[in-house]
Structure 1
């Protein structure tokens, strides 16, 4: 298989994975729905750079070495699972607190959130992705299967660019679609239910990762 075919296959597999429900998608849905387009786009930017770092670590073999060290990988699972659980409990706590209050954020408050939280939104996206041990395993598998060690430096550079670019485009488009004026009005009315769903998703994934971490320590 030539390098062009490898890159096309890599792009296809990665794009399918991006559309699969997970913490990345839940994070964009929750925040773009509640805080608007700008926050959603900065989260998309953070997520895409997290994916770029995962890809770089995988293509250089660093992630593989981490994955082969049971204690180190278990610690990564512990940290990542705890972080996702923290996000889940935060979303659930906010849902309970706001259940009997107005779900819609006032325009002035929303504007303040957008202007003050660009770095926070980027960091949230970046940390959510980079601390996800499932992402590490995915990119180790993806790179070891589809990107041969003999691939040229230029080919590997294009592979990294494709993985980062597709991620940025997908998450940005998702944030953009969820924050159109007409859809924003409808989604804002259901924001408490969206927060609840995202909180459950974060919590379940976090608990699953923590359980896997604890069982790996036991065994």
Structure 2
């Protein structure tokens, strides 16, 4: 179904994105500090479940389009590539924020799980990201587009769950190191911006 090199590229890009702290990572870290490792892991699993829901929604909406014609396929790919470049430019040009703190009330692991699902599912930026990101790795000639969406979504959610779980387990010993690396925050926009723009340009000029 998937070319090995394309699949490895997908995994590498996803892991690279995880290394740049975003809202989901911040939520997991905050929950872990406030409620402990179990709450942090539950929050990460909730985020992964929300990502899987976004994947299914994207698959239902786009798999039929991608199978319609080569023109429709290329249009979706080009729009997605342009959106990724746009995100990259915005991230690259933005100024790093201050030390904002997120205040969250104490919850049980089950509550943290369902709250994280809701937060991820109701985030429109996440929905747009999946609509733009996943189609770049879909090849209708390789089989069912819906099945490819599902596999990529499962991989993304699995990697997300694993990464956030490790983060929750390691947050205490890493806390001092994170404080020491606080100066790197000024570069986070440049890093993620470059990644998005590079991926967008690669997609824009590649052949179907």
Give the TM-score normalised by the residue count of structure 2. 0.57
Q: Which has the higher contact order (CA 8 A, sep 6+)?
A: 1
| Offset of residue 201 of structure 1 | 0.4
> In structure 2, what is the equivalent of residue 177 of structure 1?
166
> In structure 1, what is the equivalent of residue 35 of structure 2?
none
Q: Counterpart of 2:12 in 1: which secondary structure?
A: coil
1:163 and 1:90 mapped to 2: Cα distance?
A: 26
For residues 76-87 of structure 1, the aligned pairs below 5 Å read 76-87=76-87
2:123 and 2:15 mapped to 1: Cα distance?
A: 12
| Offset of residue 126 of structure 1 | 2.9
- Structure 2 residues not aligned, in runs of 5+: 32-42, 105-114
| Offset of residue 134 of structure 1 | 1.5
Give the TM-score normalised by the residue count of structure 1. 0.55
Q: 2:13 pairs with 18, 22, 28, which one?
A: 22
> In structure 2, what is the equivalent of residue 88 of structure 1?
88
> In structure 2, what is the equivalent of residue 62 of structure 1?
64
> In structure 1, what is the equivalent of residue 55 of structure 2?
51
Give the 3 Å change call, closer, same or farther, for CA 195–175 of structure 1 in structure 2: farther
1:33 and 1:169 mapped to 2: Cα distance?
A: 15
> In structure 1, what is the equivalent of residue 200 of structure 2?
206
1:17 and 1:141 mapped to 2: Cα distance?
A: 19
Are 1:88 and 1:202, in contact at CA under 8 Å, matched by a contact in 2?
yes
Are 1:31 and 1:40, in contact at CA under 8 Å, matched by a contact in 2?
no
Give the 3 Å change call, closer, same or farther, for CA 121–204 of structure 1 in structure 2: farther
> In structure 2, what is the equivalent of residue 194 of structure 1?
188
2:122 and 2:178 mapped to 1: Cα distance?
A: 20
Give the 3 Å change call, closer, same or farther, for CA 177–141 of structure 1 in structure 2: farther
> In structure 2, what is the equivalent of residue 136 of structure 1?
138
Give the 3 Å change call, closer, same or farther, for CA 205–52 of structure 1 in structure 2: same
Q: How many residues align?
A: 175
Are 1:81 and 1:207, in contact at CA under 8 Å, matched by a contact in 2?
yes
